[in-house]
Amino acid sequence: MTDIMDQLTRLGVVKGTLSLRPKQPAKKTAYLDALQKTFPNGFIVENEYGPVFNNQVRMRLDNPHGLIDLRTSLEPNSLYCHITGFTDLNKSQLLAMDIETSGLSAEASAFVFMIGMGYFSDEEYIVDQLILSDLSAEKAFLRQIEITYAKFASLLTYNGRSFDQPMILNRVRFHRLPLRGFDIPNLDLLHVVRRFWKQDLPNCRLATVEKEILHVERGEEEVPGFMAPELYRAFLDSGDAESLRGVAYHNQIDVISLSAFLLHLNQVTREYNPESENNQRFQRMENVMNIRRMLSSPDPVDVEAFCTSNTFLNTNRRRIAEQLRVKGHLLESIRVLESLYEEGDCLAAEKLSLIYEQDQKDFDRALHWLMRSLELLDADATIGFWSRKGKMERLQKRLRSLNQKKDKENEQRQ
């Protein structure tokens, strides 16, 4: 044993705890060859930082992905544009992207070792899948991502805003690369799924969306995503890329599913009929859009739609009332709040009191509504002890301050 290791062993450093792991000498120069051997369709591209392996996969558009026909075009409709925030309907300008990494967080040692970038060309769907051939080849790998990004207008990701993009940017910063081309618009489908499909799905993972909505069945090559870091380490240790086959497949399907889901989203928004009672998914969104439209139009506001409990949630109605108040439609705001009060909404009464106090300086009415609010709070049998106590304290405090203001006003009058 060498001297330094001998000393460490005496100090209790245990050698060989992980020695059961098979140790094959890595064929270090041959990582690229190994990738080429496992992925014969792949090829090596070069940029100023060095070579990068691109395991490119092309598929014909007439093969459906689950239930989705990949030939479907993106067609304009306002709901779709509103949900996605994108008005560009050029299918070929969207780059679907998903990464595989060695770890989960922004830790210094976590890196991206695979990225799938899928896009529509005329006849085909193409996935440019870059695989990091070796840890020392990371700069070229990152530069190649930037080169690919440059050909597209926007990104399509799943949780890309919080994970994939920050992860890539972290590595760019780590290497102090002068690369600025990563900042392109990003349509993160996770947020869309959370908003409109959450109730229909057991969870919002991409695999679940794929199975439940797109009805895609994955092939036998599939390996679960959490195994990817271990399999990549196996590749580094052994110099044999066979372990990456399943990871590559998993990544490709993720990417295609992203593009397919976007087509599906466009389809359902197009077919959405607000009159139909069966389709409630976008109803609230439609309502919110209506509110915005109504509030931004210069025409007089018709608030009656907000004065019944059928269409809108009480929280939304209070929010509308507040919007109206801000816009200066004070009477309309009061009308909506009164309708809420009649249905027993304690907060609406409190809000009314506030409007009379602050906007109208009418302390009598403000007091009146504050008392109504207290009554409702008192009558509410469902509210918990501590929330009641908290609310009660707040209302009492307002009551005292209102009374003081009123007294002061009276004094001034005298």
Binding interface with other proteins (CB under 8 A):
2-5, 7-8, 10-13, 15-19, 21, 23, 26, 28, 102-110, 134-136, 170-171, 173-174, 176, 229, 233, 236-237, 385-386
Closest approach of other proteins to the CB of residue 174, in Å:
4
In angstroms, what CA-CA distances link 169 with 151, 162, 255, 355, 371? Answer: 19, 11, 20, 48, 56
Smallest separation, CB 145 to other proteins (Å): 16
Which residue's CB is nearer to other proteins, number 385 or number 413? 385
394 vs 408 by CB, closer to other proteins:
394
Using the minimum distance from each CB to other proteins, give the nearer residue, 15 or 215: 15
Q: Name the amino acid, one letter, at 83.
A: I
Do 139 and 170 meet the contact criterion of CB atoms below 8 Å apart? no
Nearer to other proteins, 5 or 330 (CB): 5
CA distance linking residue 374 with residue 371, whole number of Å: 5
Least distance (Å) between residue 55 CB and other proteins:
20
Which CB atom, from 174 or from 196, has the smaller least distance to other proteins? Answer: 174
> Mapping DSSP to helix (H, G, I), strand (E, B) and coil, where does residue 80 land?
helix
Amino acid at 215: H
CA atoms within 13 A on the CB side of 266: 21
- Minimum CB separation of residue 124 from other proteins in Å reads 35
**Alpha helices, DSSP H only, in 107-244?**
138-149, 165-174, 189-196, 206-209, 228-238
Looking at beta carbons only, is 167 or 260 nearer to other proteins?
167
Q: Shortest distance, CB of residue 261 to other proteins, whole angstroms? A: 29
* CB 40, min distance to other proteins, A: 24
Residue 247: which of 219, 230, 217, 225 has the closest Cα? 225
Task: Select 101 or 252, whichever has its Cβ closest to other proteins.
Answer: 101
Phi, psi torsion values for 224, nearest 5 degrees: -65, 150
**Residue from 322, 336, 334, 343 nearest 368 by CA:** 334
Write the CB contacts of 131 (distance below 8 Å, at least 6 apart in sequence).
35, 39, 42, 53, 54, 55, 113, 114, 244, 248
The minimum distance between CB 182 and other proteins, in angstroms, equals 14
